Every structure is written in structure tokens, then in C-alpha cells.
Structure 1
């Protein structure tokens, strides 16, 4: 399985596209983390990822996570309310694979890509990545006070 973890860079070069906010998802910046699933041709991996994530809606809500599924140019919100999103623009901005290839991306509240996977990721792995982020740690601390 291929995973690219972009979180944790010691120096952020804002001219590098890996650290530039994703323009097509700007409506979520500073409010939500976004997990984008690009469906594969037979939808098997995308459906597995979708079912796994939606099995723990409380954890998604606690982490302010929006889940979107893109099939072709269409965008279907799986966990959130989202209107007017352009699947082609999101695919272009995330430099995703061709239509019909599975990929999933985690976009942080700052609007930048934190994780890219080419196989479904477990909820435990995804939530551990989110929970290790400084902003999530601050949110948890505020909630405990």
C-alpha cells in the first residue's frame, strides 16, 4: 500500500504545491478537515473505505471531518452538508490519479494535504494521524477544560 504522509514537515515552503491550500475546498478551510475518496472503476476499494469511515460517525464528528466521494466529475457528500463542489476541480487541485483509480486524501483545517493513500486506510490509522496534529491536540485540550 502506498501512503504519503505530508504532515510533519520541518519547513513549509508555501510555493510548494504540497503545502498550498486546496483552492477547490476553500469553503472548509479553518472549519473542517476533509477526507476525499476518489472511486475506483468497480467501486470496491472506495465502498470499503466509505463503509469503514461511516461506521464511526461520532469519531468523524469529534474531529470535524467532512467526507466526500468523487466518482468521475460528481461529488457526493458522505458525511457533511456540502453544495456546489466541482469534482474535476478537486481532482485537478489534488493532482489525483485518472478517473477510475482509487485514491484518498486528508486535507487539514489549514487547507493543505496531510495524507494521500492509494489503498483504503483504517479508521484507527486515520484518526491517529489526525489526533497527532497540533491543531487537534489544541481542540482536545479546549474540550477538556
Structure 2
């Protein structure tokens, strides 16, 4: 399984596009973490990923998550609210694989890519990654959470 964890960099070069907020998803910046799922041709891995994530909706809600599925050029919100998103722009901005190939990305609240996977990830793995992020740790300390 190919997994690229991007949030652990110790020195961030702000001019590097890997650390720039994703323009096509700017509406979520500072409000939500966004998990974007790109469906494969037979949709089996995408269906497995959907089932993994949506089995614990309360955990998604606690982490201010929005889950999107991009299939061809269409975008569908699987969890959370999302309107008028352009699937092709998202694919281009994330440099995602071509239509018909599976990929998934996690964007942090700062709008940057934190994780890229080429195989489904378990909800436990995903939540552990999110929970290890400094912003999430600070959120859990707030009394309104």
C-alpha cells in the first residue's frame, strides 16, 4: 500500500506548492478537514473506503470532517455539506490520478494536503493521523469540544 504522509515535515518551504492551500477547496479552509476520495473504475476500493469512513459518523463530526467522492468530473458529498464543487479542478489541484484510478487525500483545516493514499485506509488509521496533528490536539483541549 502506498501512503504518503505530508504533515510531518520539519521545514516548510512556503513556495513549494505541496504546502499551498488547495484553491478548488478553499471554502473549507479553517472550518473543516476534507477527505477526498477518487473512485476507481470498478468502484470496489472506493466502496470499501466509503464503508470504512461512514461507519463512524460521530468520529467524523468530532473532527470537523467533510468527505467528498469524485467520480469522473462529478463531486458528491458523502459526509458534511458541499455545494458547487468542480471535480476536474479538484483533480487538477491535487494532481490526482486520472479518472478511473483510486486515490484518497486528506486536507487539513489549513487547506494543505496532509495525507495521500493509493489504497483504502482504515478509519482508525485516519483518525490516529488526524488526532496526532497539533491543531486537533489543541481542539481536544477546548472546553466546548
Tell me the TM-score range normalised by the shorter chain: over 0.9
Q: Say yes or no: does 1:115 pair with 2:118.
A: no
Q: Could you say what secondary structure the match of 1:21 adopts?
A: coil
Q: Cα deviation per residue 1:6-41 (whole Å; 9 max; x = unaligned)?
A: 011111111111100000000000000000000000
In 2, the alpha carbon distance for the partners of 1:6 and 1:27 equals 21
Partner of residue 14, structure 1: 14
Which 5+ residue runs of structure 1 have no aligned equivalent? Answer: none
TM superposition score normalised by structure 1: 0.98
Runs of 4+ in 1 over 2 A off after TM superposition: none
Number of residue-to-residue matches in the alignment: 145
Query: In 2, distance between residues paired with 1:83 and 1:128?
Result: 28
TM-score of the superposed pair, with normalisation by structure 2:
0.98
Aligned residue for 1:10, secondary structure, equals coil
Aligned to 1:100, the other structure's residue is in SS state coil
CA distance in 2, matches of 1:29, 1:66: 11
Q: Distance in 1 between matches of 2:113 and 2:28?
A: 13
Which consecutive residues of structure 2, in runs of 5 or more, have no partner in the other structure? none
What's 1:70 paired with? 70
Deviations 1:87-123 (A, max 9, x none): 0000000000010000000000000000000000001
Matched with 1:23 is 23
Alpha-carbon distance in structure 2 between the residues aligned to 1:59 and 1:95: 28
